[in-house]
Amino acid sequence: MLLKTGTATPRATVPMRRRTRGLLALAATAAALPLLAQSPTAAASTAAAARAEEIVQGQCLVCHGAEGESSSPAFPRLAGQNAGYLARQLADYQSGKRKSSTMQPMVKALRAEDFMALGEYFATRPTHAHEMQEPQLAQAGRDVYVRGNPSSGVAACATCHGAEGHGSASLPRLAGQHAQYTERQLRQFHQRERTNDNAVMQAVASRMTDQEMKAVAAYLSGLK
| From 79, 83, 86, 175, residue interacting with ligand HEC (rule: CB under 6 A) | 86
Q: Is 132 in the site for ligand HEC (CB under 6 A)?
A: no
Nearer to ligand HEC by C-beta: 35 or 169? Answer: 169
Ranges of beta strands (E only) in the chain are none
> Minimal distance in Å, beta carbon 72 to ligand HEC?
9
- Chain length of the chain: 224
Nearer to ligand HEC by C-beta: 45 or 162? Answer: 162
Task: Give the integer Cα–Cα distance in Å for 142 and 145.
Answer: 5
Residue 149 bridge partners (DSSP): 154
65: CB partners within 8 A, 6+ apart: 71, 79
> Minimal distance in Å, beta carbon 60 to ligand HEC?
3
Q: Is 197 in the site for ligand HEC (CB under 6 A)?
A: yes
Query: In 53-90, which positions are buried (b, 16+ CB within 10 angstroms) versus exposed (e)?
Result: eebbeeebeebbbebbbbeebebbbbbbbbbbbbbbbb
Task: Give the integer Cα–Cα distance in Å for 78 and 122.
Answer: 6
| From 48, 103, 132, 138, residue interacting with ligand HEC (rule: CB under 6 A) | 103
Q: Strand, coil or helix: what is 210?
A: helix
Site for ligand HEC in 9-38 (CB under 6 A): none
- Radius of gyration of the CA atoms of the chain, in A: 26
> Minimal distance in Å, beta carbon 77 to ligand HEC?
8
Q: Is 60 in the site for ligand HEC (CB under 6 A)?
A: yes
Site for ligand HEC in 154-173 (CB under 6 A): 154-155, 157, 159-161, 171-172
# residues near ligand HEC by CB under 6 A: 38
> Minimal distance in Å, beta carbon 199 to ligand HEC?
10
Task: Give the integer Cα–Cα distance in Å for 205 and 208.
Answer: 5
> Minimal distance in Å, beta carbon 131 to ligand HEC?
19
What is the crossing angle of helices 112-123 and 83-95, to 10°? 140
Residues that bind ligand HEC (CB under 6 A): 55, 59-60, 62-64, 74-76, 78, 81, 86, 89-90, 100, 102-103, 106, 118, 144, 154-155, 157, 159-161, 171-172, 174, 182, 185-186, 196-197, 200-201, 204, 216
